[in-house]
Protein backbone atom coordinates (compact mmCIF):
# COMPACT_ATOMS: atom_id res chain seq x y z
CA UNK A 1 0.00 0.00 0.00
CA UNK A 2 1.08 3.56 -0.55
CA UNK A 3 -0.14 7.09 -0.34
CA UNK A 4 -0.36 9.02 -3.60
CA UNK A 5 0.32 12.73 -3.92
CA UNK A 6 -0.23 14.94 -6.95
CA UNK A 7 1.30 18.41 -6.82
CA UNK A 8 0.09 20.98 -9.32
CA UNK A 9 -0.06 18.49 -12.19
CA UNK A 10 -0.67 19.92 -15.64
CA UNK A 11 -0.94 18.05 -18.93
CA UNK A 12 -1.06 19.84 -22.24
CA UNK A 13 -1.53 18.24 -25.67
CA UNK A 14 -0.25 20.86 -28.15
CA UNK A 15 -2.71 23.71 -27.58
CA UNK A 16 -5.19 21.71 -25.50
CA UNK A 17 -4.82 21.87 -21.74
CA UNK A 18 -6.25 18.52 -20.68
CA UNK A 19 -5.79 19.10 -16.91
CA UNK A 20 -4.22 21.77 -14.71
CA UNK A 21 -3.83 22.74 -11.05
CA UNK A 22 -4.37 19.13 -10.03
CA UNK A 23 -3.29 18.77 -6.42
CA UNK A 24 -4.46 16.13 -3.98
CA UNK A 25 -3.16 13.75 -1.37
CA UNK A 26 -4.55 10.22 -1.07
CA UNK A 27 -3.71 8.55 2.26
CA UNK A 28 -2.62 4.91 2.37
CA UNK A 29 -5.39 2.44 1.67
CA UNK A 30 -8.16 4.88 0.75
CA UNK A 31 -10.55 4.52 -2.17
CA UNK A 32 -10.77 7.73 -4.19
CA UNK A 33 -13.02 8.29 -7.19
CA UNK A 34 -12.31 10.80 -9.95
CA UNK A 35 -15.65 11.74 -11.45
CA UNK A 36 -16.87 14.20 -14.05
CA UNK A 37 -18.39 14.50 -17.52
CA UNK A 38 -16.72 13.22 -20.67
CA UNK A 39 -13.51 15.09 -21.52
CA UNK A 40 -13.01 16.56 -18.02
CA UNK A 41 -9.56 14.97 -17.73
CA UNK A 42 -10.19 11.93 -15.49
CA UNK A 43 -8.35 9.41 -17.67
CA UNK A 44 -5.46 11.80 -18.26
CA UNK A 45 -4.89 12.05 -14.49
CA UNK A 46 -5.13 8.29 -14.03
CA UNK A 47 -2.81 7.56 -16.94
CA UNK A 48 -0.34 10.09 -15.56
CA UNK A 49 -0.33 8.30 -12.21
CA UNK A 50 0.14 4.98 -14.06
CA UNK A 51 3.08 6.40 -16.03
CA UNK A 52 1.29 5.98 -19.38
CA UNK A 53 1.27 9.78 -19.83
CA UNK A 54 3.91 12.28 -18.79
CA UNK A 55 2.79 15.42 -16.99
CA UNK A 56 3.78 18.67 -18.69
CA UNK A 57 4.59 20.05 -15.23
CA UNK A 58 4.02 19.18 -11.58
CA UNK A 59 5.15 16.42 -9.25
CA UNK A 60 3.78 12.98 -8.59
CA UNK A 61 4.66 10.89 -5.55
CA UNK A 62 3.81 7.25 -4.86
CA UNK A 63 4.65 6.51 -1.26
CA UNK A 64 7.50 8.88 -0.48
CA UNK A 65 9.06 8.42 -3.90
CA UNK A 66 8.96 11.11 -6.58
CA UNK A 67 8.00 9.08 -9.67
CA UNK A 68 7.94 11.78 -12.39
CA UNK A 69 10.75 10.03 -14.26
CA UNK A 70 10.07 6.45 -13.18
CA UNK A 71 8.67 4.28 -16.02
CA UNK A 72 5.23 2.68 -15.67
CA UNK A 73 6.53 -0.86 -15.04
CA UNK A 74 8.65 0.31 -12.10
CA UNK A 75 5.88 2.24 -10.33
CA UNK A 76 4.28 -0.80 -8.70
CA UNK A 77 0.77 0.18 -9.76
CA UNK A 78 -1.80 -2.02 -11.51
CA UNK A 79 -4.34 -0.61 -13.92
CA UNK A 80 -7.63 -2.14 -15.05
CA UNK A 81 -9.36 -0.76 -18.13
CA UNK A 82 -12.97 -0.91 -19.22
CA UNK A 83 -12.22 -3.29 -22.09
CA UNK A 84 -10.58 -5.93 -19.82
CA UNK A 85 -7.67 -6.56 -22.24
CA UNK A 86 -7.36 -10.25 -21.34
CA UNK A 87 -5.09 -12.56 -23.34
CA UNK A 88 -7.55 -14.60 -25.43
CA UNK A 89 -5.32 -17.66 -25.87
CA UNK A 90 -4.64 -18.04 -22.13
CA UNK A 91 -6.89 -19.62 -19.54
CA UNK A 92 -8.28 -17.65 -16.61
CA UNK A 93 -5.54 -19.07 -14.36
CA UNK A 94 -2.83 -18.13 -16.88
CA UNK A 95 -4.26 -14.64 -17.26
CA UNK A 96 -4.24 -14.10 -13.49
CA UNK A 97 -0.73 -15.53 -13.24
CA UNK A 98 0.67 -13.55 -16.16
CA UNK A 99 2.01 -10.50 -14.30
CA UNK A 100 3.60 -12.72 -11.66
CA UNK A 101 5.36 -14.90 -14.26
CA UNK A 102 6.72 -11.79 -15.98
CA UNK A 103 8.10 -10.68 -12.63
CA UNK A 104 9.67 -14.10 -12.16
CA UNK A 105 7.78 -15.16 -9.04
CA UNK A 106 8.37 -18.79 -8.11
CA UNK A 107 5.72 -21.30 -9.34
CA UNK A 108 4.52 -22.13 -5.80
CA UNK A 109 3.81 -18.47 -4.94
CA UNK A 110 2.09 -17.99 -8.29
CA UNK A 111 -0.12 -21.02 -7.71
CA UNK A 112 -1.06 -19.82 -4.22
CA UNK A 113 -1.87 -16.30 -5.35
CA UNK A 114 -3.97 -17.51 -8.29
CA UNK A 115 -6.00 -19.77 -6.01
CA UNK A 116 -6.52 -17.02 -3.41
CA UNK A 117 -7.45 -14.36 -5.93
CA UNK A 118 -9.80 -16.72 -7.75
CA UNK A 119 -11.49 -17.55 -4.46
CA UNK A 120 -11.98 -13.94 -3.42
CA UNK A 121 -13.48 -13.09 -6.82
CA UNK A 122 -15.59 -16.29 -7.13
CA UNK A 123 -13.62 -17.43 -10.15
CA UNK A 124 -12.42 -20.77 -8.73
CA UNK A 125 -14.67 -22.86 -10.97
CA UNK A 126 -13.62 -20.98 -14.11
CA UNK A 127 -9.84 -21.25 -13.89
CA UNK A 128 -9.47 -23.54 -16.95
CA UNK A 129 -11.70 -21.52 -19.25
CA UNK A 130 -10.58 -19.13 -21.97
CA UNK A 131 -11.88 -15.52 -21.92
CA UNK A 132 -14.34 -16.07 -24.78
CA UNK A 133 -16.07 -18.75 -22.69
CA UNK A 134 -16.86 -16.18 -19.98
CA UNK A 135 -19.56 -13.55 -19.53
CA UNK A 136 -18.61 -9.87 -19.54
CA UNK A 137 -18.82 -9.71 -15.77
CA UNK A 138 -16.61 -12.78 -15.35
CA UNK A 139 -14.05 -11.37 -17.80
CA UNK A 140 -13.96 -8.14 -15.84
CA UNK A 141 -13.40 -10.08 -12.62
CA UNK A 142 -10.47 -11.88 -14.27
CA UNK A 143 -9.02 -8.50 -15.26
CA UNK A 144 -9.36 -7.37 -11.64
CA UNK A 145 -7.86 -10.65 -10.46
CA UNK A 146 -4.85 -10.24 -12.72
CA UNK A 147 -4.26 -6.80 -11.18
CA UNK A 148 -4.84 -7.93 -7.59
CA UNK A 149 -2.55 -10.98 -7.89
CA UNK A 150 0.44 -8.70 -8.24
CA UNK A 151 -0.37 -7.04 -4.91
CA UNK A 152 0.44 -3.61 -6.27
CA UNK A 153 0.92 -0.60 -4.03
CA UNK A 154 -1.79 1.25 -5.93
CA UNK A 155 -4.76 0.06 -7.90
CA UNK A 156 -5.93 2.22 -10.84
CA UNK A 157 -9.33 1.51 -12.36
CA UNK A 158 -10.60 3.28 -15.49
CA UNK A 159 -14.37 2.87 -15.86
CA UNK A 160 -14.06 -0.86 -15.09
CA UNK A 161 -17.81 -1.48 -15.01
CA UNK A 162 -18.95 0.43 -18.06
CA UNK A 163 -19.20 -2.60 -20.36
CA UNK A 164 -21.46 -4.51 -17.98
CA UNK A 165 -25.26 -4.53 -18.04
CA UNK A 166 -27.17 -2.80 -15.23
CA UNK A 167 -27.63 -5.74 -12.84
CA UNK A 168 -24.08 -7.02 -13.26
CA UNK A 169 -22.77 -3.52 -12.77
CA UNK A 170 -24.54 -3.23 -9.42
CA UNK A 171 -23.28 -6.66 -8.30
CA UNK A 172 -19.70 -6.07 -9.42
CA UNK A 173 -19.72 -2.62 -7.81
CA UNK A 174 -20.66 -4.17 -4.47
CA UNK A 175 -17.97 -6.86 -4.93
CA UNK A 176 -15.37 -4.21 -5.65
CA UNK A 177 -16.25 -2.39 -2.48
CA UNK A 178 -16.01 -5.57 -0.46
CA UNK A 179 -12.70 -6.45 -2.11
CA UNK A 180 -11.27 -3.08 -1.18
CA UNK A 181 -12.38 -3.56 2.41
CA UNK A 182 -10.57 -6.93 2.44
CA UNK A 183 -7.35 -5.87 0.70
CA UNK A 184 -7.05 -2.23 1.73
CA UNK A 185 -5.04 -1.32 -1.37
CA UNK A 186 -4.97 2.40 -2.20
CA UNK A 187 -7.38 2.68 -5.12
CA UNK A 188 -8.05 5.42 -7.65
CA UNK A 189 -11.16 4.85 -9.70
CA UNK A 190 -12.32 6.83 -12.72
CA UNK A 191 -15.95 7.04 -13.72
CA UNK A 192 -18.51 9.42 -15.19
CA UNK A 193 -21.20 7.59 -13.19
CA UNK A 194 -22.17 9.54 -10.10
CA UNK A 195 -23.79 6.49 -8.47
CA UNK A 196 -20.48 4.61 -8.61
CA UNK A 197 -18.72 7.66 -7.23
CA UNK A 198 -21.17 8.10 -4.36
CA UNK A 199 -21.29 4.42 -3.37
CA UNK A 200 -17.62 3.46 -3.69
CA UNK A 201 -15.61 6.47 -2.63
CA UNK A 202 -13.95 7.41 0.64
CA UNK A 203 -13.39 10.70 -1.15
CA UNK A 204 -14.65 12.02 -4.46
CA UNK A 205 -12.73 14.40 -6.71
CA UNK A 206 -15.21 16.18 -8.99
CA UNK A 207 -13.59 17.43 -12.20
CA UNK A 208 -14.81 19.69 -14.95
CA UNK A 209 -12.92 21.26 -17.84
CA UNK A 210 -9.62 19.81 -16.62
CA UNK A 211 -9.87 21.38 -13.16
CA UNK A 212 -10.85 20.15 -9.72
CA UNK A 213 -14.25 21.49 -8.70
CA UNK A 214 -14.43 19.94 -5.25
CA UNK A 215 -12.87 17.19 -3.14
CA UNK A 216 -14.67 15.59 -0.22
CA UNK A 217 -16.60 12.70 1.24
CA UNK A 218 -19.57 11.77 -0.94
CA UNK A 219 -22.25 12.81 1.54
CA UNK A 220 -20.48 16.06 2.39
CA UNK A 221 -20.24 17.07 -1.27
CA UNK A 222 -23.84 16.08 -1.87
CA UNK A 223 -25.01 18.10 1.12
CA UNK A 224 -22.82 21.13 0.44
CA UNK A 225 -21.72 21.37 -3.21
CA UNK A 226 -19.20 24.13 -3.95
CA UNK A 227 -20.84 25.21 -7.18
CA UNK A 228 -23.66 24.57 -9.60
CA UNK A 229 -21.69 22.06 -11.66
CA UNK A 230 -21.06 19.83 -8.65
CA UNK A 231 -24.62 20.36 -7.40
CA UNK A 232 -26.22 19.21 -10.64
CA UNK A 233 -23.70 16.45 -11.39
CA UNK A 234 -24.20 14.49 -8.16
CA UNK A 235 -27.74 13.27 -7.64
CA UNK A 236 -30.26 11.54 -9.86
CA UNK A 237 -32.62 13.10 -10.83
CA UNK A 238 -30.34 16.11 -10.62
CA UNK A 239 -30.79 19.19 -8.46
CA UNK A 240 -33.34 21.62 -9.93
CA UNK A 241 -32.05 25.05 -10.88
CA UNK A 242 -34.50 27.98 -10.91
CA UNK A 243 -33.43 31.40 -12.17
CA UNK A 244 -34.83 34.01 -9.74
CA UNK A 245 -34.50 37.60 -8.52
CA UNK A 246 -34.16 38.40 -4.82
CA UNK A 247 -36.87 40.78 -3.61
CA UNK A 248 -35.94 41.28 0.02
CA UNK A 249 -38.82 39.21 1.42
CA UNK A 250 -38.32 36.30 -0.98
CA UNK A 251 -37.43 35.25 -4.52
CA UNK A 252 -39.32 36.14 -7.65
CA UNK A 253 -39.39 32.91 -9.64
CA UNK A 254 -40.82 33.64 -13.04
CA UNK A 255 -43.43 36.03 -11.61
CA UNK A 256 -44.28 33.92 -8.53
CA UNK A 257 -43.03 35.02 -5.12
CA UNK A 258 -41.29 32.35 -3.12
CA UNK A 259 -41.49 33.83 0.36
CA UNK A 260 -38.51 33.35 2.65
CA UNK A 261 -38.98 33.51 6.42
CA UNK A 262 -36.96 36.20 8.25
CA UNK A 263 -34.77 33.60 9.98
CA UNK A 264 -33.52 32.32 6.60
CA UNK A 265 -33.40 35.81 5.00
CA UNK A 266 -31.10 37.18 7.67
CA UNK A 267 -28.28 34.89 6.64
CA UNK A 268 -28.48 35.49 2.89
CA UNK A 269 -25.49 37.48 1.66
CA UNK A 270 -27.40 38.98 -1.29
CA UNK A 271 -29.10 42.29 -1.99
CA UNK A 272 -32.58 43.08 -3.24
CA UNK A 273 -32.75 43.06 -7.04
CA UNK A 274 -29.88 40.56 -7.39
CA UNK A 275 -30.28 37.76 -9.93
CA UNK A 276 -29.53 34.29 -8.57
CA UNK A 277 -29.97 30.65 -9.46
CA UNK A 278 -31.86 28.73 -6.81
CA UNK A 279 -31.03 25.04 -6.33
CA UNK A 280 -33.39 22.52 -4.77
CA UNK A 281 -33.10 18.73 -4.88
CA UNK A 282 -36.09 16.69 -6.12
CA UNK A 283 -36.44 15.00 -2.72
CA UNK A 284 -36.81 18.36 -0.97
CA UNK A 285 -40.01 19.29 -2.76
CA UNK A 286 -43.48 18.13 -1.75
CA UNK A 287 -47.06 18.87 -2.74
CA UNK A 288 -49.11 21.43 -0.80
CA UNK A 289 -52.28 19.68 0.25
CA UNK A 290 -54.44 22.66 -0.72
CA UNK A 291 -54.08 22.71 -4.51
CA UNK A 292 -54.98 26.41 -4.77
CA UNK A 293 -52.65 27.54 -2.05
CA UNK A 294 -49.47 29.43 -2.81
CA UNK A 295 -48.80 29.96 0.89
CA UNK A 296 -45.93 28.33 2.71
CA UNK A 297 -43.54 29.02 -0.11
CA UNK A 298 -45.68 27.29 -2.69
CA UNK A 299 -45.00 27.35 -6.41
CA UNK A 300 -47.82 26.79 -8.87
CA UNK A 301 -46.84 24.28 -11.55
CA UNK A 302 -48.33 22.00 -14.18
CA UNK A 303 -47.56 18.28 -14.29
CA UNK A 304 -45.90 17.20 -17.55
CA UNK A 305 -44.71 13.65 -16.95
CA UNK A 306 -45.45 11.07 -14.23
CA UNK A 307 -43.05 8.16 -13.70
CA UNK A 308 -44.24 5.63 -11.09
CA UNK A 309 -41.24 3.56 -9.91
CA UNK A 310 -42.94 1.50 -7.22
CA UNK A 311 -41.27 2.78 -4.07
CA UNK A 312 -41.30 6.36 -5.36
CA UNK A 313 -42.85 8.48 -8.08
CA UNK A 314 -40.89 10.96 -10.16
CA UNK A 315 -42.78 13.81 -11.74
CA UNK A 316 -41.65 16.51 -14.11
CA UNK A 317 -43.50 19.78 -13.80
CA UNK A 318 -43.26 23.16 -15.53
CA UNK A 319 -43.76 26.69 -14.25
CA UNK A 320 -46.57 28.52 -16.10
CA UNK A 321 -45.40 30.37 -19.23
CA UNK A 322 -41.86 29.18 -18.74
CA UNK A 323 -39.44 26.63 -20.14
CA UNK A 324 -38.19 25.84 -16.61
CA UNK A 325 -38.81 22.20 -15.75
CA UNK A 326 -38.52 20.78 -12.23
CA UNK A 327 -37.97 17.17 -11.19
CA UNK A 328 -39.87 16.19 -8.07
CA UNK A 329 -39.48 12.95 -6.13
CA UNK A 330 -42.64 11.87 -4.31
CA UNK A 331 -43.79 8.77 -2.43
CA UNK A 332 -44.92 5.64 -4.23
CA UNK A 333 -48.61 6.10 -3.72
CA UNK A 334 -49.27 9.20 -5.79
CA UNK A 335 -52.07 9.57 -8.33
CA UNK A 336 -51.23 12.38 -10.72
CA UNK A 337 -51.71 12.96 -14.42
CA UNK A 338 -50.17 15.20 -17.05
CA UNK A 339 -52.04 18.51 -17.08
CA UNK A 340 -52.78 18.48 -13.30
CA UNK A 341 -52.02 21.77 -11.59
CA UNK A 342 -50.27 21.68 -8.25
CA UNK A 343 -48.82 23.92 -5.61
CA UNK A 344 -45.37 22.70 -4.63
CA UNK A 345 -43.76 23.21 -1.26
CA UNK A 346 -40.00 23.71 -1.23
CA UNK A 347 -38.05 22.86 1.91
CA UNK A 348 -36.41 26.25 2.41
CA UNK A 349 -33.78 24.85 4.75
CA UNK A 350 -32.52 22.84 1.78
CA UNK A 351 -32.51 25.70 -0.70
CA UNK A 352 -29.16 26.60 -2.31
CA UNK A 353 -28.40 29.98 -3.83
CA UNK A 354 -25.84 30.19 -6.66
CA UNK A 355 -24.24 33.11 -8.43
CA UNK A 356 -25.50 32.72 -12.03
CA UNK A 357 -22.32 34.29 -13.45
CA UNK A 358 -19.66 32.21 -11.68
CA UNK A 359 -21.78 29.21 -10.65
CA UNK A 360 -20.36 29.41 -7.11
CA UNK A 361 -22.65 28.71 -4.19
CA UNK A 362 -23.55 31.88 -2.27
CA UNK A 363 -25.64 30.13 0.36
P1 LIG B 1 -13.95 10.34 -21.05
O2 LIG B 1 -14.85 10.14 -19.87
O3 LIG B 1 -14.69 10.70 -22.30
O4 LIG B 1 -12.96 9.23 -21.22
P5 LIG B 1 -12.01 11.97 -19.62
O6 LIG B 1 -12.61 12.79 -18.54
O7 LIG B 1 -11.30 10.73 -19.23
O8 LIG B 1 -13.08 11.69 -20.75
P9 LIG B 1 -9.55 12.70 -20.93
O10 LIG B 1 -9.53 11.49 -21.82
O11 LIG B 1 -8.62 12.74 -19.80
O12 LIG B 1 -11.02 12.97 -20.40
O13 LIG B 1 -9.31 13.97 -21.84
C14 LIG B 1 -9.21 15.30 -21.33
C15 LIG B 1 -9.04 16.29 -22.45
O16 LIG B 1 -7.78 16.09 -23.09
C17 LIG B 1 -10.08 16.17 -23.55
O18 LIG B 1 -10.39 17.45 -24.02
C19 LIG B 1 -9.37 15.36 -24.61
O20 LIG B 1 -9.90 15.65 -25.89
C21 LIG B 1 -7.93 15.82 -24.45
N22 LIG B 1 -6.99 14.76 -24.83
C23 LIG B 1 -6.81 13.58 -24.21
N24 LIG B 1 -5.83 12.84 -24.79
C25 LIG B 1 -5.40 13.59 -25.84
C26 LIG B 1 -4.40 13.40 -26.85
N27 LIG B 1 -3.64 12.28 -26.89
N28 LIG B 1 -4.23 14.39 -27.76
C29 LIG B 1 -4.96 15.53 -27.72
N30 LIG B 1 -5.91 15.77 -26.80
C31 LIG B 1 -6.13 14.83 -25.87
Return the HEC string of 40-92: CCHHHHHHHHHCCCCCCEEEEEECCEECCCCCHHHCCEEEECCCCCCCCCCCH
Q: Do 79 and 215 fall within a single domain?
A: yes
Q: Is the pLDDT of residue 293 over 80?
A: no
Give residue 120's pLDDT band: very low, low, confident or very high (50, 70, 90). Answer: confident
In Å, what is the CA distance from 299 to each residue of 69, 283, 317?
Answer: 59, 15, 11
Q: Quote the ligand 1 centre to 153 CA distance (angstroms).
A: 26
- CATH code: domain of residue 62: 3.40.50.300
Q: Do 107 and 34 fall within a single domain?
A: yes
Mutation choice for ligand 1 from 33, 43, 45, CB with most ligand atoms inside 8 A: 43
In degrees rounded to 5, what are phi and psi of residue 74? Answer: -100, 10
User: Which range has the top average pLDDT, 22-31, 69-78, 150-159?
Assistant: 22-31
Residue 166's pLDDT is what?
Answer: 86
Q: Do 104 and 160 fall within a single domain?
A: yes
Bridge-based pairing of strands 352-354 and 275-280 is antiparallel
The ipTM assigned to this model is 0.97
Residue 292's pLDDT is what?
Answer: 55
Q: Do 250 and 325 fall within a single domain?
A: yes
Nearest CA to ligand 1 atom 2: 38
Q: Do 67 and 167 fall within a single domain?
A: yes
- State pLDDT tens for residues 178-188: 989 988 999 99
Instruction: Read off the pLDDT of each residue in 163-177 and give the average, rounded to a whole number.
Output: 86
* Domain end point (choices 192, 225, 258): 225
Q: Do 10 and 74 fall within a single domain?
A: yes
* Domain end point (choices 177, 200, 225): 225
Q: Do 178 and 299 fall within a single domain?
A: no
Q: Do 205 and 275 fall within a single domain?
A: no
In Å, what is the CA distance from 320 to each residue of 60, 79, 224, 356?
Answer: 53, 51, 30, 22
- Which range marks the domain in which residue 167 is found? 4-225
Whole-prediction pTM: 0.92
Nearest CA to ligand 1 atom 3: 38
- State pLDDT tens for residues 350-362: 999 999 999 999 9
Residue 18, ligand 1, Cβ within 6 A? yes
Q: Do 178 and 260 fall within a single domain?
A: no
| Ligand 1 atom at minimal distance to the Cα of residue 190 | 7
Beta bridge partners of 329: 314
Nearest CA to ligand 1 atom 20: 39
Q: Do 41 and 181 fall within a single domain?
A: yes
Q: Please give the tally of structural domains in the chain.
A: 2
Q: Domain for residue 255, yes or no?
A: yes
Q: Do 284 and 163 fall within a single domain?
A: no
Amino acid sequence: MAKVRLEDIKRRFNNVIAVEDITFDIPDGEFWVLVGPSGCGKSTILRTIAGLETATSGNLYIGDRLVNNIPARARDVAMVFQNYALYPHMTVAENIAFGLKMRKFDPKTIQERVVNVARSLSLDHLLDRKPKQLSGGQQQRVALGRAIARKPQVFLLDEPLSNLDAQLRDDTRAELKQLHQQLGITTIYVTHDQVEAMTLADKIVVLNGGRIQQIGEPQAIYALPANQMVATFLGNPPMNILPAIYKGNGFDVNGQLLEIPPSVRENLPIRSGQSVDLGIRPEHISINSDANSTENSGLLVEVKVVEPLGRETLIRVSLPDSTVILNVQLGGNVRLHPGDRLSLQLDLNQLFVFDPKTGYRIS
